[in-house]
Amino acid sequence: MTAFLTRRDFAAGSAALALAGCTNLASRPIAGSAAPTCLPRLDVAPDRVIRSVAGLRPYRRSGYRVEMEAVGEKRVVHNYGHGGGGISLSWGSSREALVLGLPGHYGPVAVLGAGALGLTCARLLQEAGYQANIYAKALPPNTTSNIAGGQILPSTHFEREHVTEEWLAKERLAADYTRRRMQIDVGEDYGIRWIATYDQGHRTLRPDLRPFYPGRESLAPDAHPFPADRVDRYMTMYVETGRWLASLLRDVRIAGGGVAVREFRDRAELATLSETLIFNCTGLGSHELFGDEVLEPVRGQLAILIPQPEVQYAYSASPGYMFPRPDGIVLGGTFEHGEWQAEPQPEDIAAIVERHRDWLAGWRCGAQG
């Protein structure tokens, strides 16, 4: 069965909501909700779907991997396996990789991969004064990173019982640094903005991630129009991933970075590179290239609806999540472990749309919303 979850449910490993695909989401009356505060209403219908996409999250239950290994004469620094949080961890994880790999190195540096991790890695290398040369099987817009919904909130990328306190501390630093970098780039150029997220929440937040939910407050039923008893609201950054990645690739090129389309079939091929230091940012590609058996795909499918510029809020609720982007309303989503086929399944896309539509049928505002 396809699992329909919010990004946070998945992080929390909630078995109850993993079964949400079987639950009737039709709304029920909300206590004490005479005149709720209104928001522009989302228009969800099958004929408003402008495209559907699927991507394979590079998931490791033991968390993303930043480690160095010797491959022949080369030093390879791995920087992959960020599951459903690779955008939210990108800058920080790449910085962690540089701190590990750069000391004592002189000369050009190779970066394998041109997704969120490869591009942020290349930019940080350039900022540190190094010649960065990217080699990638595919460039934006043809990466998994381009599929991402774009919420800047690390989630859905590990299982608590499989990570150490030491790893968690590094992950927290990576998330924090990413959040700071993203704030510097807020605006049209990189497609990053702050908007309010309404969360049908009643789950305990990771205490160390509290700063990631600024302005968080629980709303009384009359303070929101959603068909839910308990709704929290906080501010979150969202990135229009296509625009962000295109801008990063542009920045790499402007700063003199090399960009070559090239696929590596096995680690022995790395010997053909002239660079002696290599950052491996190949995402799920590391399963085959470096034989990482822990790394598995978690497929995510999204339905994208006609843009609604008046919708300036996001939600995360029982039917899944909704992120409003200039290039379309993003409705998520699925988390399908071990699924290698990166193709949207029409029946799953239809189910995503139906779940959101059914839930929103309980919208507690008039037609004008």
Binding site residues, ligand FAD, CB under 6 A = 55, 57-58, 80, 82-88, 112-118, 136-138, 143-145, 147-151, 263-264, 281-285, 289, 300, 302, 333
Of 222 and 251, which CB lies nearer to ligand FAD in the complex structure? 251
Amino acid at 243: R
Q: Are 230 and 202 in contact (CB under 8 A)?
A: yes
Of 30 and 114, which CB lies nearer to ligand FAD in the complex structure? 114
Q: Token pair of 46, please?
A: 């099958």
Smallest gap from Cβ 102 to ligand FAD, in A, equals: 19
Who's near 119: CB < 8 A, 6+ residues apart?
A: 90, 134, 140, 245, 248, 249, 252
Of 88 and 126, which CB lies nearer to ligand FAD in the complex structure? 88
Smallest gap from Cβ 110 to ligand FAD, in A, equals: 11
Smallest gap from Cβ 33 to ligand FAD, in A, equals: 30
Smallest gap from Cβ 277 to ligand FAD, in A, equals: 17
Of 178 and 200, which CB lies nearer to ligand FAD in the complex structure? 178
Query: Cβ of 168: how many Cβ atoms within 10 Å?
Result: 15
Residue 355: which of 206, 200, 187, 211 has the closest Cα? Answer: 200
Smallest gap from Cβ 36 to ligand FAD, in A, equals: 28
Torsion of CA 309, 41, 7, 169, to 10 degrees: 60
Of 30 and 66, which CB lies nearer to ligand FAD in the complex structure? 66
Of 114 and 317, which CB lies nearer to ligand FAD in the complex structure? 114
Of 36 and 113, which CB lies nearer to ligand FAD in the complex structure? 113
Smallest gap from Cβ 32 to ligand FAD, in A, equals: 33
Smallest gap from Cβ 265 to ligand FAD, in A, equals: 7
Of 88 and 133, which CB lies nearer to ligand FAD in the complex structure? 88
Of 68 and 138, which CB lies nearer to ligand FAD in the complex structure? 138
| Residue 78 C-beta-side C-alpha neighbours within 13 Å | 23
Smallest gap from Cβ 361 to ligand FAD, in A, equals: 25
Of 17 and 245, which CB lies nearer to ligand FAD in the complex structure? 245
Smallest gap from Cβ 149 to ligand FAD, in A, equals: 4
- The CA angle 161-147-261, to the nearest 5 degrees, is 105
Q: Are 126 and 304 in contact (CB under 8 A)?
A: no
Smallest gap from Cβ 238 to ligand FAD, in A, equals: 8
